Amino acid sequence: MLPTELLQEGEHLMTVCNACRYCEGYCAVWQTMESRLVFVESDLNYLANLCHNCGECFYSCQYSPPHEFNINPPKTLAKIRLYTYGLYAWPGPLAKAFCKNGLLVSLLAAAVLIAFLLAASLALGSRLWEPVRGGDFYQIIPHSVMALTFSVVGSFSALALLIGFLRFWRDSGESYSTLANPVALFRAAKDVLSLKNLDNDGAGCSYPREKSSEALRWFHHATFYGFLSCLVATTLGAIYYYVFGWHGPPGFLSLPVIFGTVGGIGLVIGPIGLFVLLRRRNREIVDENQSGMDLAFIVLLLLISISGLLLLLLRQSAAMGTLLVVHLGFVMTLFLTMPYGKFVHGIYRSGALLKWALERSRQSENKAKA
Ligand code: SF4
Ligand code: SF4
């Protein structure tokens, strides 16, 4: 259950906004709100995950503080969104620990994983501090250690994310069968990939607006596509190794290295940009309780990208072994903390956009029938 005070704040927001409707063209939140007359907790949870915290509605609002109505959609929805991260997370207690001390928990997890990889590799006879002929990663970290840690961490993370998503879907009032709607899936994928609504230009707004909104969108893009590019690079690397049996390091112009380099650069530019914007944001629309979670995600992405790019540059040197262990430790920490950190914003927002696409399809069908 949402804490009573937050529930009342959300209901107050919806009551005032649904009567006003000035912001109806701004984003999916407002169009969704207008199709409802009453707002139960699950509606607020859904709307909170539709919001992208661009801040535009706040600057347009004649009832924002210091007005006595105290209307602040980005902040109220951010607070509800944070609550939903804990509500949907599995196992729940891990989410609470991460929410309170995101950066500390991430760094501790990274230290443990790096220590484990070091110890296991040394125990199996790896010569971590010697240059490796051919740059074969498995001469440094034995195949068994790599496969075991990645399969355990990866499976746990995938399961926790799946459970979280299914909990969100059930809470939003949808049955699982509606997940298989190809039209809605296509619409939602388009909205997710284009970061819909984060490009809000404040059209029609005569009030001072969040000037960083467009920059926020591009830094999100750099982070998102950088992450995807790194995933493609890793997949291609595995295909080269296991399918084609090419055990040497891929050349600088090979596909895994090109995707990895582009992704790594994106994951340096994006998180740094997001960090700068986060620091400069108007504190009035920020939920400070999320700052630790935001910072942990940004720091982890930077540690991964910087260690990955260094690994590429120094792969023929004696530093390669240490860099590889450190890089993989950070990557595994990201996977381990994904279900409890800022990453879930992408998962639940995608789910909310899918539900929004379904609702639009149903509205069109009803209109056609009428
Ligand atoms: S945020 Fe303010 S201006 Fe926008 S719909 Fe709500 S009350 Fe109206
Ligand atoms: S902050 Fe932006 S995304 Fe959130 S409700 Fe307002 S306009 Fe929509």
Does any ligand 1 atom lie closer than 6 A to the CB of residue 22?
Answer: yes
Is 142 or 133 the better-scoring residue by pLDDT? 142
> pLDDT at residue 39 above 90?
yes
Closest ligand 2 atom to the C-alpha of 53? Answer: 1
Question: CA 260, CA 237: separation in Å to the nearest integer?
Answer: 10
pLDDT for position 79: 97
Average pLDDT over residues 38-59: 93
- Ligand 1 pocket test, candidate residues 23, 51, 68, most atoms within 8 A of CB: 23
- For 29, the token pair is 């939140």
Question: CA 273, CA 250: separation in Å to the nearest integer?
Answer: 30
153 Cα–ligand 2 center, Å: 35
DSSP state, residue 242: I
Say which amino acid occupies 45. Answer: N
Q: Are 84 and 46 in contact (CB under 8 A)?
A: no
- For 363, the token pair is 């509205």
Q: Are 50 and 257 in contact (CB under 8 A)?
A: no
Q: Which ligand is nearest to the CA of 49?
A: 2
What predicted TM-score, i.e. pTM, was given to this entire model? 0.88
Question: CA 32, CA 7: separation in Å to the nearest integer?
Answer: 18
Question: CA 44, CA 53: separation in Å to the nearest integer?
Answer: 15
pLDDT for position 197: 65
The domain segmentation of the chain, as residue ranges, is 89-369
Does any ligand 2 atom lie closer than 6 A to the CB of residue 196?
Answer: no
Q: What is the band of 370 on the pLDDT scale with cuts at 50, 70, 90?
A: confident
- Ligand 1 pocket test, candidate residues 31, 63, 64, most atoms within 8 A of CB: 63
How buried is residue 20: exposed, middle or buried, by Cβ count under 10 Å (0-12/13-18/19+)? middle
Residues in the chain: 370
185 Cα–ligand 2 center, Å: 22
Is 205 or 152 the better-scoring residue by pLDDT? 152
303 Cα–ligand 2 center, Å: 30
pLDDT tens per residue, range 305-317:
999 999 989 888 8
Phi-psi group of 362: left, alpha or beta (phi > 0 → left; psi -120 to 50 → alpha; rest → beta) = alpha
Q: Which of 340, 334, 341 is nearest to 109 (CA)?
A: 334
pLDDT for position 30: 95
Closest ligand 1 atom to the C-alpha of 13? Answer: 6
Q: What is the band of 211 on the pLDDT scale with cuts at 50, 70, 90?
A: low
Closest ligand 2 atom to the C-alpha of 285? Answer: 1
pLDDT for position 330: 96
59 Cα–ligand 1 center, Å: 9
DSSP state, residue 214: H
Average pLDDT over residues 212-235: 89
Does any ligand 2 atom lie closer than 6 A to the CB of residue 78?
Answer: no
Collect all residues with Cβ–Cβ distance below 8 Å to 334 and sequence separation of at least 6.
Answer: 300, 301, 304, 343
Q: Are 342 and 296 in contact (CB under 8 A)?
A: yes
Say which amino acid occupies 130. Answer: E
Question: CA 14, CA 87: separation in Å to the nearest integer?
Answer: 21
Q: Which of 10, 33, 27 is nearest to 359 (CA)?
A: 33
pLDDT for position 131: 67
List C-alpha distances in Å: 244 to 37, 153, 237, 260, 293: 59, 26, 10, 19, 40
pLDDT for position 226: 96
29 Cα–ligand 2 center, Å: 7
Question: CA 140, CA 117: separation in Å to the nearest integer?
Answer: 10
Bond prior to 91 in cis (omega within 30° of 0): yes
Is 67 or 126 the better-scoring residue by pLDDT? 67
Average pLDDT along the chain: 89
> pLDDT at residue 94 above 50?
yes
Does any ligand 2 atom lie closer than 6 A to the CB of residue 54?
Answer: yes
Average pLDDT over residues 119-132: 78
Nearest-CA residue for atom 2 of ligand 1? 61
Is 34 or 319 the better-scoring residue by pLDDT? 34
pLDDT tens per residue, range 257-275:
999 999 999 999 999 999 9
> pLDDT at residue 212 above 60?
no
> pLDDT at residue 17 above 70?
yes
Q: What is the band of 135 on the pLDDT scale with cuts at 50, 70, 90?
A: low
pLDDT tens per residue, range 137-173:
667 777 788 888 889 999 999 999 999 999 999 999 9
pLDDT tens per residue, range 277-312:
988 888 999 999 888 889 999 999 999 999 999 998
199 Cα–ligand 1 center, Å: 19
pLDDT for position 354: 97
Say which amino acid occupies 180. Answer: A
Closest ligand 2 atom to the C-alpha of 55? Answer: 1
Average pLDDT over residues 200-209: 42
